[in-house]
Amino acid sequence: MSSDTKVTRKLMLYFPECETEKPIVYHLVKDYDLVINIFRARVTPEEEGYLVLDVTGTEENIEKGENFIRSLDIKIDTARKGLTWDSESCAQCGSCIPHCPTGALSIPDRKTMEIVFNTDECIECLSCIKVCPFGAVHSLF
Amino acid sequence: MKTIEEINEKISSGKAVVLTAEEIIDYVDKKGATAAAKEVDVVTTATFGPMCSSGCFLNFGHSKPKMRITEAWLDDVSAYAGVAAVDLFLGATQLRTNDPANIDYPGEFRFGGGHVMEKLVARKEVQLFALSYGTDDYPLREKRVSFTIDDLNQAVMVNPRNCYQNYNVAINASDKPIYTYLGYLKPGMKNCGYSSAGQLSPLLNDPFYRTIGVGTRIWLAGAQGHVYAEGTQHSPSCERGRLGVPSEGAGTLALTGDMKKMDPEFVRGVSLRGYGTSLSVGVGIPIPVLDEETLLQTTIRDRDIKAQVIDYSTDYPERTGKVLASVNYEELKSGSVEILGKKVEAGSLSSYAKARKIAGMLQEEIRSGKFHLTAPISPLPVEQGMKPMKESD
């Protein structure tokens, strides 16, 4: 892969306490030439906050951007996801399927009718949470 | 021709040929009905979905001093105490006390009777809070205690209406979103909700109740239970299609089983936004292949089972009887159906994946000699309608 190939990465930023006054997104765009797509944010002063976004750019610029974010004492949480699907709680009914706009929740095999969740496709619109009868989908914030 | 006794002998000796209602379709296509009817002994059917008319009787044993319970709550969900001193009935759709219901529309209905039943079967602790007025022989007037299902004498699931033979498909033709027990329906007929296991569903494989009747031994959430009566609203007189399979609700079953022997995977509390709480139950019913006719009934396919599409914004609540369209389960299971020339996304409340799993589990139990079949002790009515409520004198 050449160094100027653009890649997209989904990041979840965790603000232990939102004291930063810096316009983070502005700097990611202007200083590191990153394309930003914000899925969901909860940033409230003096409380912990979350920001889930896609960044698109070169590997090098994404890394620089990530370092910039970390320099502001904001954590890039790679372990946790903003939205999680619990395969044990899921009763495999499929009532979520018509409400998922991206196909992150899907039934790839119509013979077995099993539900599959692909976190990479999820834009965290939270539609599934509202319609799941079994509480199988959870939002971190 | 085979008898139930002959089939049971084969089950006991581990020689019974058992196929699921899904497997039997291709098998009969390949072998022909006559040969298959000779070879196959049992076809297993199954369903897993919300069945609101469900509940359980619980017996707590006696406190010291004794108490004649008159009001009771299980994890703050009210249970009916109008039976003997320490017997309670808990219904699946009972809301938790102080649930705001639809005051904050649409209500979330996170916890209710069905969820308490799920916790009981999962052997989790549940809190009993009971009140009484006190009598000479039952003086205790208040009790609060945590218990699990193992502390009870009996925990018997008693479901007055399960296994609807078929069910309608809900759609919303209005210009506002609506919340129904068949899910959240977007305005302008953008999606529809259905709930049936289709070709796997018990009563769709025995449409005239030739083998399933009162007394039939069933697989109820992993326990061996039985059909104790015709289900409430059992109304077999209706429109029927190929192989006599109804395209409306039609037959229903009243089921019972020992909750202490159930598997929590198949007893699940349900929260339906804007509607309320319920319980999803897994049911498996074996069909003995007595002759070619009983076998042929089990070969029904999703594409041959029709369901009526009903507008839940007007026609359903107003009981107009209007049917917008007819679709089949093959179309519904594909994820989208065409209704009045419009592509509509379809979502299911019933889990076909779980129904498949149950049909396979029951198949294995019969093959290994753990589950024997029974003949009904009395048949279910084959001709009967359903009355509306009497509303004025």
B222-266 tens-digit pLDDT: 999 999 999 999 999 999 999 999 999 999 999 999 999 999 999
H helix or E strand, kind and range, residue B15: none
Looking at the structure, tell me whether residues B42 and B125 fall in a common domain. no
The mean pLDDT of chain A is 91
Q: Which residue would you say has higher pLDDT here, A72 or A111?
A: A111
Locate B183 and state its tokens: 């899910």
pLDDT for A48: 85
Nearest CA in chain B to A128: B184
Is the same domain home to B304 and B348? Answer: yes
Residue A1 has pLDDT above 60, yes or no: no
Q: What DSSP character marks residue B188?
A: T
Q: Quick one: B86 and B205 in the same domain?
A: no
Q: Are residues B208 and B310 in the same domain?
A: yes
* CB pair distance less than 8 Å for B353 and A99: no
Comparing CA positions, the residue from B316, B357, B348 lying closest to residue B330 is: B348
Q: How far apart are CA A46 and CA B170, in angstroms?
A: 46
Per-residue b or e along B56-78, where b marks 16 or more CB atoms closer than 10 Å to that residue's CB:
bbbbbeeeeeebbbeebbbbebb
Please indicate whether, in this complex, the C-beta atoms of A130 and B184 are within 8 angstroms of each other.
yes
Is the residue at B374 inside a domain? no
| A93/B349 CB distance under 8 A | yes
Place of tokens 């090098």: A60
The two tokens of residue A138 are: 């959870």
Helix ranges (H only) for chain A are 24-32, 59-71, 127-131
Q: Which structural domain, as residue segments, surrounds residue B332?
A: 4-52+159-367
Chain B residues whose C-beta is within 8 A of a chain A C-beta are 48-50, 110, 183-184, 190-191, 193, 268-273, 278, 280, 333-335, 345-354, 356
Q: Closest CB to B334: pick one of A93, A110, A115.
A: A110
Write out residues in chain B with pLDDT < 70, as ranges. Answer: none
In a domain, B272, yes or no: yes
For residue B389, being part of any structural domain is answered with no
* CB contact set of B310 (below 8 Å; sequence gap of 6+): B168, B169, B170, B171, B316, B322, B323, B324
Q: What is the pLDDT of residue A18?
A: 62
Please indicate, yes or no, if residue B116 is contained in any of the structural domains: yes
Of B4, B2, B16, nearest to B362 by C-alpha is B16
Taking alpha carbons only, the member of B210, B357, B216 closest to residue B290 is B210
**Which pair of tokens denotes residue B102?**
């639809």
Q: Where in chain A is the domain with CATH 3.30.70.260?
A: 6-76
* Residue B382 included in any domain: no
User: What is the DSSP secondary-structure string of B329-365?
Assistant: HHHHHHTEEEETTEEEEEEESS-HHHHHHHHHHHHHH
CA distance B347 to A95: 5
Let me know whether B221 and B340 are in one domain: yes
* Predicted confidence (pLDDT) at residue A47 exceeds the cutoff of 90: no
- Answer whether A68's CB lies under 8 Å from A32's CB: yes
Q: Within 13 Å, how many C-alpha atoms sit on residue B338's CB side?
A: 1
How many domains, chain B?
Answer: 2
Here the tokens at position A106 are 């899907």
- Give me the DSSP letters along B119-141: HHHTT--EEEEEE----SS-B--
CB A97 within 8 A of CB B335: yes
pLDDT, one tens digit per residue, over A76-87 is: 987 778 999 999
Domain match, B326 and B191 both: yes
Residues B384, B233: Cα–Cα separation, whole Å: 9
Indicate yes or no: CB of B348 within 8 angstroms of CB of A115.
no
For A83-139, which CATH class? alpha beta
A17 pLDDT band, cuts 50/70/90, is: confident
Answer yes or no: do B242 and B253 share one domain.
yes
Which fold is adopted by the domain A6-76?
A: Alpha-Beta Plaits (3.30.70)
Q: Reduced to 3 states, what is the DSSP secondary structure of residue B393? A: coil
pLDDT at B75: 98
Residue A59 pLDDT greater than 60, yes or no: yes
What pLDDT score was predicted for residue B176? 97
- CA triple B329-B333-B337, angle to 5 deg: 80
Instruction: Residue B190: list chain A partners with CB under 8 A.
Output: 98
**Does position A75 have pLDDT exceeding 70, yes or no?**
yes
Between β-strands B55-59 and B306-311, what pairing exists: parallel, antiparallel or unpaired? unpaired
Residue A68: is its pLDDT beyond 90?
yes
Among candidates A65, A63, A61, which has minimal Cα distance to A25? A65
Total Cβ atoms within 10 A of residue B331: 19
Rounded to the nearest 10 degrees, the angle between the axes of helix A24-32 and helix A59-71 is 150
- Chosen for mutation from A86, A87, A93 (greatest number of chain B CBs closer than 10 Å) is A93
Distance (Å, whole) CA A92 – CA A116:
9
